[in-house]
Amino acid sequence: MMPLGGPRLFVREVRSCWTPVLQSACFWSRASAEERRERRAQLKKELKKGYFADLEDFRKTGGKKFEAGSSLLPKQTSDKFPSLTGSTLSGRTIQFPNDMIGKTTVVLVSLRGIGQTMCDRYRNALESEPRQGVQVFEIVLLESRLYRWIQFWIERNLRKSIRPQERQDRFMCTGENTERLKESLPIENVLLGHSFLVDNDGLVRWKAHGVPTERETKSLIQCSKDLAA
């Protein structure tokens, strides 16, 4: 199965994989012995689950490991949404989980443009049946140094396409602690979009990834209504 977006998008994603390679070449030429030891340990971990593995997984299966449940996860076994601070496209400062306390929140997370198109499907489903008391945040994680260097340019272009203003107030790009966030949520495939439904205590009570099925969008709508009731 060809990835969502067709062969051209697939080629662009493959080319983007060379960015970490070039960055590593520069690192090894300047790093101390201790830094090199730490980097080797990190590379061993990354080799088990890297960019090409994500691409191959997505090419074969669409990256979807499971279908989200139709009901809320038990509160007793749910994890806290990880801490995160940043500025939205409108300049508003966001602090998670503080800005979730006392509210029902849907957080849509992506690391690539293809993942953002998946997040759009979750957001569109919620907007088709708006519910008072449910807030939606969109987060783009900038995991590579290159993306962080051009973050200002990325945000400037997003402001042109993200409308209305209210959506910009809840749309954030961040390059802070991306590895920690990926491990905490968790996010296994960087090509996918992820949806998290968080209750008023900051606990993740429902989650999904990849292109949502019709059953998943209905579950997200219903579960968000249940939490906001």
Last residue of a domain, one of 16, 37, 61: 61
* Alpha helices, H only, 129-204: 145-149, 151-161, 165-168, 178-184
My answer on whether 45 and 103 are in the same domain is: no
Q: Is residue 117 part of a domain?
A: yes
My answer on whether 197 and 101 are in the same domain is: yes
The range of the structural domain enclosing residue 104 comes to 75-228
The DSSP string of 28-53 is HHH--HHHHHHHHHHHHHHHHS-HHH
Q: Which helix (DSSP H) or strand (DSSP E) does residue 221 occupy? A: helix 214-228
* DSSP SS3 for 134: strand
My answer on whether 104 and 177 are in the same domain is: yes
My answer on whether 52 and 123 are in the same domain is: no
pLDDT digits (tens, 9 = 90+) for 188-212: 889 999 999 999 999 999 999 999 9
Q: Specify the DSSP class assigned to residue 200.
A: T
Q: Is residue 69 part of a domain?
A: no
Strand partners, 87: 93
Q: Is residue 212 part of a domain?
A: yes
My answer on whether 56 and 133 are in the same domain is: no
My answer on whether 119 and 196 are in the same domain is: yes
- pLDDT value at position 58? 65
What's the token pair of residue 39? Answer: 């980097």
My answer on whether 108 and 41 are in the same domain is: no
My answer on whether 37 and 79 are in the same domain is: no
Report d(CA 148, CA 142) in Å as an integer.
Answer: 6
Number of folded domains in the chain? Answer: 2
From the list 136, 158, 137, 138, the residue with the least C-alpha distance to 147 is: 158
Q: Specify the DSSP class assigned to residue 63.
A: T
- pLDDT value at position 12? 52
Q: Is residue 67 part of a domain?
A: no
Q: Where are the beta strands (DSSP E) in 71-226?
A: 84-87, 93-96, 104-110, 134-141, 171-174, 194-198, 204-209
Q: What is the mean pLDDT of each run of 10 residues along the chain (229 residues)?
A: 49 47 51 69 56 66 83 96 95 94 96 94 91 92 86 92 92 92 91 96 96 95 93
CATH number for the domain spanning 101: value is: 3.40.30.10
- pLDDT value at position 47? 47
Q: Specify the DSSP class assigned to residue 88.
A: B
My answer on whether 121 and 195 are in the same domain is: yes
- pLDDT value at position 143? 86
Q: Is residue 120 part of a domain?
A: yes
Q: Is residue 70 part of a domain?
A: no
pLDDT digits (tens, 9 = 90+) for 32-53: 777 767 766 665 555 455 566 6
- pLDDT value at position 10? 47
Strands 171-174 and 134-141: parallel
**Tell me, what amino acid is at 84?**
L
From the list 51, 87, 79, the residue with the least C-alpha distance to 159 is: 87
My answer on whether 109 and 179 are in the same domain is: yes
Q: Is residue 86 part of a domain?
A: yes
My answer on whether 32 and 95 are in the same domain is: no
Contacts by 159-165, CB closer than 8 A, 24 or more apart: 159/89, 162/89, 165/90
- pLDDT value at position 166? 92
Q: Is residue 214 part of a domain?
A: yes
Q: Specify the DSSP class assigned to residue 217.
A: H
My answer on whether 109 and 218 are in the same domain is: yes
